[in-house]
């Protein structure tokens, strides 16, 4: 369609299509989300906790991390963002941002303003439903991360997180059942899982020695996917990737 700037196979389109069969109107509205394309270098703080009038972003390429910093300087990572994700969606609905976000890698992202979201909701209600689904899925992931830290062993936490990332990346065509490219460091994993970097190293070594997964040279490889799912009790139900409910 004339004027469309969003390819049909973009990560965002693939992700939202997991819930809603997008119409031409939906695709045109999505294209308008991408009018303000920006590039961020690794380490750039894209959102700051307490920031007012923050923008949201849609990741097209690269990884980001959402986190909160405690008074003593410790950091708790609450989620990782991958291509196709909204970053800071709550920040344009709340008066102030409730968390910070930082680029892990070089990022290509589109800045989205509150008016963009409200206009989309008014003119493309099916797309609004898809965005609500994406936000609800993010909330479900945070609930699962809470269970991860509170009740699972270190090995279960690690396996569950990496399986979740693998499932999310497969949805947007950036991974498969054998594994996925992963730019995260052991410090990122430690801050997400409530472990020390030394403990993370020990857990990854144990999972590798057990023939379950290997994380080296920037790639996670699932050496025994079925056993890994059993060990972590990983169930993709909370990710809701079973196909569009609305057609």
63-117 residue pLDDT tens? 999 999 988 888 999 999 999 999 988 877 777 888 899 999 999 999 988 888 8
d(CA 110, CA 58): 5
133 and 145 in a single domain? The answer is: no
Residues 68, 84 within the same domain: yes
Q: CATH code at 200?
A: 1.10.10.10
Same domain, 197 and 229: yes
Looking at the structure, tell me whether residues 187 and 111 fall in a common domain: no
pLDDT for 23: 86
Same domain, 145 and 235: yes
Do the Cβ atoms of 144 and 188 come closer than 8 Å? no
Q: What is the spatial distance between Cα 141 and Cα 157, in angstroms, rounded to a whole number?
A: 13
Q: Of 113, 137, 161, which marks where a domain is finished?
A: 137
Same domain, 69 and 106: yes
Q: Check: CB of residue 183 under 8 Å from CB of residue 215.
A: no
The answer as to whether 245 is a domain residue is no
> What is the chain's Cα-based Rg?
18
> Looking at residue 245, what is its pLDDT?
53
Do 16 and 100 lie in a common domain? Answer: yes
Q: Is residue 149 part of a domain?
A: yes
Give a yes or no: residue 191 inside a domain: yes
Task: Looking at the structure, tell me whether residues 114 and 41 fall in a common domain.
Answer: yes
- Indicate whether 169 and 117 sit together in one domain: no
C-beta neighbour count of 97 within 10 angstroms: 21
pLDDT at position 93, please?
Answer: 76
Is 247 contained in some domain? Answer: no
Paired with 102 in beta bridges are: 45, 65
Tell me the pTM: 0.91
Q: Provide the residue range defining the domain that includes 22.
A: 11-137
Is 39 within a domain? yes
* DSSP H or E stretch at residue 189: helix 186-193
Tokens of 118: 């409200």
Element (H, E) at 61: strand 56-61
Sign for the CA dihedral angle at 44, 47, 51, 55 comes to: positive
Give the 3-state secondary structure of residue 106: coil
How many structural domains compose the chain? Answer: 2
At residue 4, the pLDDT reads: 43
1 within some domain: no
Query: Would residue 3 count as lying in a domain?
Result: no
Q: Find, among 107, 108, 91, the residue nearest to 99 by Cα.
A: 91
Give yes or no: residues 129 and 82 share one domain.
Answer: yes
Same domain, 23 and 133: yes
* Domain's final residue, options 104, 137, 170: 137
**Six-digit token string for 200:** 């993370």
CATH number, domain containing residue 121: 2.60.120.10
The predicted structure's pLDDT at residue 3: 41
For the chain (length 247 residues), average pLDDT per consecutive 10? 52 87 86 88 92 87 95 92 91 82 96 87 86 89 92 96 96 95 97 96 98 97 96 90 58
Domain identity same for 120 and 167: no
Which residue, 193, 179, 225, is CA-closest to 67? 193
Identify the domain boundary among 137, 157, 176.
Answer: 137
pLDDT number for residue 8: 57
Judge whether 55 lies within some domain. Answer: yes
């Amino acid at each position: 369609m004339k004027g469309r700037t969003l390819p049909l196979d973009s990560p965002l389109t693939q992700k939202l299509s997991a819930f809603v069969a997008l119409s031409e109107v939906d695709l045109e509205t999505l294209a308008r989300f991408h009018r303000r394309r920006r590039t961020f270098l690794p380490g750039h703080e894209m959102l700051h906790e307490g920031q007012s009038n923050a923008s949201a972003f849609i990741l097209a390429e690269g990884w980001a991390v959402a986190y909160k910093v405690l008074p003593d300087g410790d950091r708790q990572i609450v989620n990782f963002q991958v291509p196709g994700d909204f970053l800071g969606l709550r920040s344009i609905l709340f008066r102030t941002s409730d968390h910070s976000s930082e680029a892990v890698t070089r990022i290509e992202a589109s800045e989205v303003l509150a008016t963009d979201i409200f206009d989309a909701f008014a003119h493309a209600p099916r797309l609004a439903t898809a965005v609500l689904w994406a936000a609800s899925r993010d909330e479900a992931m945070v609930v699962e991360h809470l269970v991860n830290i509170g009740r699972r062993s270190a090995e279960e936490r690690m396996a569950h997180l990496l399986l979740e990332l693998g499932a999310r990346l497969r949805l947007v065509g950036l991974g498969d059942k054998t594994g996925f490219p992963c730019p995260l460091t052991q410090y990122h994993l430690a801050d997400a899982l409530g472990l020390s970097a030394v403990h993370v190293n020990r857990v990854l070594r144990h999972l590798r020695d057990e023939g379950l997964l290997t994380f080296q040279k920037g790639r996670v490889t699932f050496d025994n996917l079925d056993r890994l799912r059993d060990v972590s009790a990983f169930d993709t139900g909370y990710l809701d990737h079973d196909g569009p409910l609305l057609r």
